[in-house]
């Protein structure tokens, strides 16, 4: 069965079994490799994308269960400019190995959409399910605060 899907504003018709995880549709079928495979059981957050504006773990969402437009890390910002959060990530040099960073950023975008002025506790709670093996959590928190402040100014 062919499944219609909108990813980063582009419409696709996906001809794969309904039970294929969205993660593999994005990476293998569409070629959007910014979304990473980490654990396969929604425990690490590396595969975080947005469906209809909500942060979800794409390894656990079957193709047939996608309920709205999908946004991946490639869909943030513009070809000419980073989003406020991506720019803050660079400014604070958050990434070390970088593997988890796309999932971290996508989770942080969801947080700032829901809580434009997050406290440290808000950030810690929202980011809790996104693991960073390099331990850059203080820089992640700082980048989120910076992005929140810049988004208020804009």
Of residues 76 and 1, the one with the higher pLDDT is 76
The CA distance from 85 to 7, in Å, is 20
CATH for 84-153, options being 1.10.150.120, 1.20.1050.10, 1.10.760.10, 1.20.1260.10: 1.10.150.120
The CA distance from 98 to 151, in Å, is 24
Exposed/middle/buried for residue 97 (C-beta within 10 Å: 0-12, 13-18, 19+): exposed
Residue 62's SS3 state is strand
Q: Would you state the pLDDT for residue 79?
A: 85
Residue range 96-106: mean pLDDT, rounded: 94
- Work out the percent of the chain whose per-residue pLDDT is above 90: 95
CATH for 2-75, options being 3.40.50.410, 2.60.40.420, 3.10.20.30, 3.30.465.10: 3.10.20.30
């Amino acid at each position: 069965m062919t499944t219609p899907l909108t990813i980063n504003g582009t419409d696709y018709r996906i001809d794969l079994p309904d039970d294929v995880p969205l993660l593999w549709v994005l990476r293998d079928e569409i070629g959007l490799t910014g979304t990473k495979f980490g654990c396969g059981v929604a425990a690490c957050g590396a595969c975080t994308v947005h469906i209809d504006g909500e942060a979800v773990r794409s390894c656990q969402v079957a193709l047939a269960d996608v309920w709205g437009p999908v946004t991946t890390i490639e869909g943030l910002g513009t070809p000419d400019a980073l989003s406020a959060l991506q720019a803050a990530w660079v400014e604070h040099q958050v990434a070390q190995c970088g593997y988890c960073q796309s999932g971290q950023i996508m989770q942080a975008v969801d947080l700032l959409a829901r809580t434009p002025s997050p406290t440290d506790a808000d950030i810690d709670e929202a980011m809790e399910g996104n693991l960073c093996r390099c331990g850059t959590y203080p820089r992640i928190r700082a980048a989120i605060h910076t992005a929140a402040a810049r988004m208020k100014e804009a």
